[in-house]
Structure 1
Amino acid sequence: MNRCLRIVATVTLLVLAGSALTACIAEPSRVCVPTLAVDPDNPRPGRIVAVSTTNACPLPGGAELTVRIHPAGETIPLAQARVTPDPDGSFSVSITVPPTIRPGQAIASISNYWDIATCPEGASCAAAEVEFTVAR
């Protein structure tokens, strides 16, 4: 019986030690990245679309965001608009789909989001962007 009690005591100590160590590990910081929508989501070149947040993230007061449109696979923006979001980070801004853009996949993004929001040091934070289709 002594051997069984020692095993139970040892297992109990290991479980307690493990739970104490788990409590010491810091939880990773949560990163808020807004999700965007383009309406209409299949515009023709030269049409005006609304780029808006579908899931907003709070930002410091007075922040100004730059929303850009460019073809997928390219980084040079063809259209740009600036917007000051509401206190909760939500916004909607009108922007013209460039008349010179080729039909196909395009991206609307907040180009300066991580200049304003905080991405934890050492983290890989996602881009605040949405892909949409430019019609013929």
Structure 2
Amino acid sequence: MAMLLVVVCAPLTSCLSAPSTVCVPTLTVDPDNPRPGRIVTVSTTDACPLPAGAELTVRIQPVGETIPLAQARVTPDPDGSFAVSITVPPTIRPGQAVASISNYWDIATCPEGASCASAAVEFTVAP
């Protein structure tokens, strides 16, 4: 008795497809050289759409530190843009600091297997 075996092969689409684009908002701090205790505005220059009702947490901390010294919450516009005022901590030392959205990837979608950068910007705290 003879058997006929037919094998159907399909290309591996996961290897052939283009990588997904990842949208990470670009942030600015104004003024970009504040003194400790001053109020700055952290805002988006290139925004990314987010689900309705999303609330972002913006933090300020010294570069290389893991504990934020100040934070503010903001609800972005439907296109993901926002501007929020936050006080540079009076206890922060002069030098490099970072403003970041600490919960961005809890709200936005990072495609599986993608390298998703954090939404952050460095600025200098004046003496």
TM-score by length of 1: 0.82
2:67 aligns to what? 76
Tell me how far 1:41 sits from its aligned partner.
0.1
> Which of these residues, 82, 104, 115, is aligned with residue 95 of structure 2?
104
> Which of these residues, 84, 99, 102, is aligned with residue 93 of structure 1?
84
Structure 1 residue identity aligned to 2:30: D
Q: 1:16-35 residue pairs with structure 2 within 5 A? A: 25-35=16-26
Q: 1:1-136 residue pairs with structure 2 within 5 A? A: 25-136=16-127
Check conservation: 2:20, 2:114, Cα contact below 8 A. Answer: no
Structure 1 runs (4+) deviating above 6 angstroms are none
Tell me how far 1:75 sits from its aligned partner.
1.2
| Secondary structure of the corresponding residue to residue 89 of structure 2 | coil
CA RMSD of aligned residues (A): 1.6
Gaps of 5+ in 2: 1-10
| Secondary structure of the corresponding residue to residue 130 of structure 1 | strand
State how many pairs are aligned: 116
Identity %: 86
Deviation by residue 1:83-102 (Cα, 9 ceiling, x = unmatched): 00000000000000000000
Query: Which structure features the higher share of helix residues?
Result: 1
1:7 aligns to what? none
Q: Supply the distance in 2 between the matched residues of 1:47 and 1:28 (Cα, whole angstroms).
A: 42
Structure 2 residue identity aligned to 1:104: G
Q: Supply the distance in 1 between the matched residues of 2:67 and 2:34 (Cα, whole angstroms).
A: 20
| Secondary structure of the corresponding residue to residue 54 of structure 2 | coil
Structure 2 residue identity aligned to 1:99: P
